[in-house]
């Protein structure tokens, strides 16, 4: 998991005094605590960056049999890197403690904001859009949160939502033979009826029910299913027995009703949520990402460059190639989620650029180009913003080119799907292949 940690603050306790952790982090004041963990303000001594350090006592966790849950939280958080999910930087361990170095989210819980009263519909929409973006990303990686509630939604300094607390999350490999999850967990008021029913449930559909409860709470300022008697509350949840307050707009009422459908088979899906009129309404302030602004400025920075592709020397070729075999296959990094591919061609640079423009047109991408570079940017937002792809052309000899294509922005999974379904088929006939005796083109 990590290297042994030395805590120079005295026996691992860091209340009321600064402590040095692993010679790398300085621990400061406590920010909060739960049953099994304390969270401290920490500073990375090398970078000076502030972060949150979650400290979990091993003994306590082992005693109640929660070690698997902690391991699961670590592996999930390493998998899910998204702008609306709290980032895990590093995990360390000593004999008695586990330390999570995490992104410091300074704006507090969304719960605290709702406690002051219901939110304006346009603000609730912004938070809900960010929540769905994060949950869609998790689901695309086979991860189900299973404990979504406003207390597990934090806000950063800019008011952006961040999902946290993946301790109860499940992977798709936890599904039983019937393809369903079977562990009852979560917070009663936010739990889907099929989870309470203990008959097995779809983790994605159960998460969406919780999102429905959250949306209702954001818009109403109170819970949809309330009763002092928990059995009565469960009955209401089973029946989907709730009423929308009169101030809900018709579109909001429709969406909440589809989310809080007690039948998981007819409950709205993420694709349908994203298409709904309420969800699609533009947010008041349109924020363009750094990548989108760079895309706009692309021509200005590339206009006066040489018209010839940059010639590759031996060092370039070595850095571009995993070995010297540039030929038969698109070369890719050998890892699960690849972010770049390369191919060789004997066609001129103008032919490569024309082909990339055709791909862009078919796939709803905007295009910017110079004589040796092409940038494509998706017109619609994906799981991690708009997908952006950059292609650059290098010359090995005047008539033999290497084209490097890489993801510039957006979700790696969406990029890989685009490459396999759109890009590879469109480029297949211009890719140079080696002579038949050792050709292995798929």
Give me the catalytic one of 147, 202, 261, 411. Answer: 147
> Is residue 198 part of an annotated ligand binding site?
no
Q: What DSSP letter does each residue of 133-197 carry, written as one string?
A: HHHHHHHHTTEE-----GGGEEE-TTS-EEE---TT-EEGGG--TTS-B----S-GGG--HHHHT
How far apart (Å, rounded) are the C-alpha atoms in residues 56 and 71?
Answer: 12
Those residues whose C-beta lies under 8 Å from the C-beta of residue 191, and which sit 6 or more positions away, are 184, 206, 209, 210, 237
Place of tokens 């990303």: 137
As a whole number of angstroms, the distance between CA 109 and CA 153 comes to 6
Phi, psi of 299 (to 5 degrees): -65, -40
CA dihedral sign of residues 212, 218, 219, 221: positive
DSSP strand pairing (385-397 vs 310-311): parallel
Query: At 424, is the secondary structure helix, strand, or coil?
Result: helix
Determine how many CB atoms are found less than 10 A away from the CB of residue 325: 13
Q: Rounded to whole angstroms, how far apart are CA atoms 35 and 75?
A: 21
- Catalytic (active site) residue 147: yes
| Residue 62 DSSP SS3 | helix
Annotated binding site: 58
Q: Which residues are marked as active site?
A: 147
Annotated binding site for ATP: 58
């Amino acid at each position: 998991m990590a290297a042994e940690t030395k805590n120079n603050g005295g026996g691992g306790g860091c209340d009321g005094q600064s402590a040095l952790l692993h010679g790398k982090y300085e621990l400061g004041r406590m920010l909060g605590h739960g049953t099994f963990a304390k969270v401290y303000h920490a500073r990375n001594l090398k970078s000076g960056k502030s972060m949150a350090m979650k400290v979990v006592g091993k003994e306590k966790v082992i005693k109640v049999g929660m070690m698997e849950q902690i391991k699961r939280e670590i592996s999930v958080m390493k998998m899910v890197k998204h702008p609306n999910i709290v980032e895990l930087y590093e995990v360390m361990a000593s004999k008695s403690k586990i330390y999570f170095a995490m992104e410091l989210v300074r704006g507090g819980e969304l719960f605290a904001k709702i406690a002051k009263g219901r939110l304006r519909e346009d603000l609730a929409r912004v938070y809900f859009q960010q929540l769905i973006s994060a949950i869609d990303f998790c689901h695309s990686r086979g991860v189900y949160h299973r404990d979504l509630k406003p207390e597990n939604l934090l806000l950063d300094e800019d008011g952006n939502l961040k999902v946290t607390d993946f301790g109860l999350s499940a992977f798709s490999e936890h599904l039983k033979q019937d393809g369903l999850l079977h562990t009852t967990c979560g917070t009663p008021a936010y739990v889907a009826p099929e989870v309470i029913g203990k008959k097995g449930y779809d983790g994605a559909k159960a998460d969406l029910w919780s999102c429905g409860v959250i949306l209702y709470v954001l818009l109403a300022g109170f819970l949809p299913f309330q009763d002092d008697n928990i059995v009565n509350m469960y009955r209401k949840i089973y029946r989907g027995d709730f009423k929308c307050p009169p101030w809900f707009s018709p579109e909001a009422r429709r969406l909440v009703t589809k989310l809080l459908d007690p039948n998981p088979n007819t409950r709205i899906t993420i694709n349908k949520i994203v298409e709904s009129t309420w969800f699609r309404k533009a947010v008041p302030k349109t924020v363009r990402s750094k990548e989108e602004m760079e895309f706009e400025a692309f021509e200005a920075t590339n206009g006066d460059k040489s018209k010839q592709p940059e010639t590759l020397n031996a060092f370039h070729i070595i850095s571009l190639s995993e070995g010297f075999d540039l030929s038969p296959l698109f070369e890719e990094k050998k890892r699960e989620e690849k972010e770049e591919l390369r191919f060789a061609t004997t066609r001129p640079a103008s032919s490569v650029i024309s082909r990339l423009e055709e791909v862009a047109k078919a796939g709803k991408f905007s295009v910017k180009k110079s004589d040796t570079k092409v940038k494509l940017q998706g017109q619609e937002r994906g799981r991690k913003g708009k997908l952006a792809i950059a292609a650059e052309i290098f010359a090995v000899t005047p008539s033999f080119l290497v084209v490097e294509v890489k993801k510039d922005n957006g979700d790696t999974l969406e990029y890989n799907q685009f490459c396999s379904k759109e890009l590879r088929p469109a480029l297949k006939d211009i890719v140079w292949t080696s002579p038949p005796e050792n050709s292995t083109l798929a």
